[in-house]
Each structure stands twice: as C-alpha cells, then as structure tokens.
Structure 1
Amino acid sequence: MSFNQERLMQVLLAPQISEKSTRLADKFEQVVFKVVKDATKPEIKAAVELLFKVQVESVQVANMKGKQKRFGKVMGRRKDWKKAFVCLKPGQEINFAAGE
C-alpha cells in the first residue's frame, strides 16, 4: 500500500509526552502521538516508519473529546482530537530526548 509522501508528513502532529506514555514506552515499547482527526491506522504506521526509520508492529487509536473550558461567563470547548498508540517491534526505539 503506497501513500502520498506529503500526506504522511502531515499525519503526525506531536508526540504525547506524559507519565502514562513514558510508562507505556518503557514497559510495552509503545509511543503515543497526537495525529490528525482523519488519519487511518495504515497511514499512521507508514508515517512513523518513514519519519523515524523504525518498524511498527501495530497501531491503536483513541478519539479524545475536547475539554469544557470557561471563557469569562461563556462556556467554551476545546477541539476533539485523535491519539495514536504505536507499538514498535522488539528492539526498536524512538528517543525524543536526543536533542538534549
């Protein structure tokens, strides 16, 4: 399955760095990414393999609801977003702290 190179560059928005994602990375060799809302599992897999030069075993996605926030007297809402849990093959690793 081939994908448009430009589309793959736009699929991943940012790594999701939190205590939970760090624990997943250590225990299960998983990495968590914020992705565009219309991204598919095969697109996410291809984008991670292209950008980070690693082999991906599987991808799980979760649609996250935006939080309710107050702006003065008005109740507003943040945008809904999609989170991808990318499981890497054994021995593979993505190190985001390499620049430090």
Structure 2
Amino acid sequence: MKDPRDIIIRPIITERTAEMMDSLKYVFEVDMRANKTEIKDAIEQIFKVKVANVNTLRVPAKPKRYGRHSGYTSEWKKAFVTLTSDSKPLEFFETV
C-alpha cells in the first residue's frame, strides 16, 4: 500500500475553496495515479475524519511562452473531498 502522504501532495487554498470549507468540502492536489478509494483512505488516515465523497479531475497542461521559448505547464490532478456532517473541520484550514 502507498504511503498516504505520497498520495496527498498539497491543499489548494483559494477564495473559491475557502468558501467551500463552510460546507466541509476541501480541495487537494493529489498524485496523478491515485484513484478515489486511495484518496479517501489517505484523507481519513492523515486527518482522522470520515469522508463522504471524493470527486477528481485532471487539470490539463497549458501552453506558455517566455519570449521566443514555448512550452507547457505540468498536468496535475485535483481532488474535491466532502466530509460527513458529523466530522470535525480540518485543523490547518482554521486560519484561513
């Protein structure tokens, strides 16, 4: 089994995701190869909460230019995690 900290890369904190935190929804950048079950188990192990639902999406690479040089940004995977109503909010999001 994979280590849960290898699956969850970092939380995504923006104005939109801060508003979603009121309804116990959190957004994370996750490993591209992780599936929904692995993401759910990782969140439950790391934060000691109960996960109700996990939705994932792949953020595609975008073309970028810097002067005459062109390339692409990296492709990454985003996970929207919904906690159950009886779960406590995640601790490190309290300061936002």
The 3-state SS of whatever aligns with 2:3 is helix
Q: Deviations over 1:9-63 (max 9, x none)?
A: 200000000011111111x210100001111000000000000111100100011
Question: What is the TM-score when the length of structure 1 is the normalising length?
Answer: 0.85
- The number of residues matched between the two structures is 95
Task: Give the Cα separation in 1 of the matches to 2:50 and 2:35.
Answer: 17
How many percent identity over aligned positions?
Answer: 34
2:61 to 61, 66, 79: 66
RMSD over aligned Cα atoms: 1.8
Task: Give the Cα separation in 2 of the matches to 1:13 and 1:62.
Answer: 15
Q: Which residue in the other structure is 1:11 paired with?
A: 7
Amino acid at match of 1:78: T
Whether 1:53 aligns to 2:48 is yes
Whether 1:94 aligns to 2:90 is yes
Q: CA deviation at 1:68?
A: 2.1
Task: Give the Cα separation in 1 of the matches to 2:32 and 2:6.
Answer: 11
Q: 5+ unaligned residues in a row in structure 2: which ranges?
A: none
Q: CA deviation at 1:76?
A: 1.0
Amino acid at match of 1:23: E
Task: Give the Cα separation in 2 of the matches to 1:79 and 1:97.
Answer: 26
Amino acid at match of 2:69: V
Task: Give the Cα separation in 1 of the matches to 2:61 and 2:24.
Answer: 27
